[in-house]
Amino acid sequence: MDISLHIDEAYAAQIDAEAIEQAIVTTLQLAKADPVLIQEGSVALTITDRETVQQLNLQYLGIDEPTDVLSFENVPDADFPEVETGMSRHLGDIVIAYPVAEAQAASAGHEPMAEVSLLAVHGALHLLGFDHDDPERKEEMWAVQQQIMSELGLAHVQPTEEAHGGRPD
């Protein structure tokens, strides 16, 4: 798995890149992603400010508010053939608003990096097709998310309903 991290300089000192990479790889493994995707795929993850995420949220989802995480799944174009085995497959992009993650962590009583790991897991699950747009799908996504967080030693970190209460991300 090729994980491309783009971290705004203002937040670089607070970010543990290895923890983020481990969160994404563990998500793909425990969510039973295609083994070829795990081996040869790629994900881009950006950690940026609240304003940038709010602008993306408005541009792509029509919601003029900041949010904690946005996921942009790489949907294959029908005009192009599927990628051959051995070639890199880009799963998609995840964008995290560090100030929002930091505030949520403070509110929940855990470290900001634990919240960033949760958001990386949450975003990666969206890239794999999980969603929380109805109660059944939310229950399934939350169960897998909790299993992954437990595997990462972060079982105490729970998603906040305000951040994920049905809004697309």
Enter the tokens of residue 169.
């991300």
Compare 91 and 34 and report the one with higher pLDDT.
91
The yes/no answer on whether domain 2-75+86-159 falls in CATH 3.40.50.720 is no
Q: Are 159 and 41 in contact (CB under 8 A)?
A: no
Rounded CA gap, 10 and 31, in Å?
A: 32
Enter the tokens of residue 63.
């919601």
Cα 70 to chain center, whole Å?
A: 7
pTM confidence score:
0.88
pLDDT, one tens digit per residue, over 25-49 is 999 999 988 888 888 899 999 999 9
| Residue 88 confidence (pLDDT) above 70 | no
| Residue 128 confidence (pLDDT) above 70 | yes
Domain ranges of the chain: 2-75+86-159
Instruction: Give percent of the chain above pLDDT 90.
Output: 77
Alpha helices in 12-111 (DSSP H): 17-30, 35-40, 50-61, 98-108
Sign of CA dihedral 84, 85, 87, 93: positive
Average pLDDT value for the chain: 89
Confidence of residue 56 (pLDDT cuts 50, 70, 90): very high
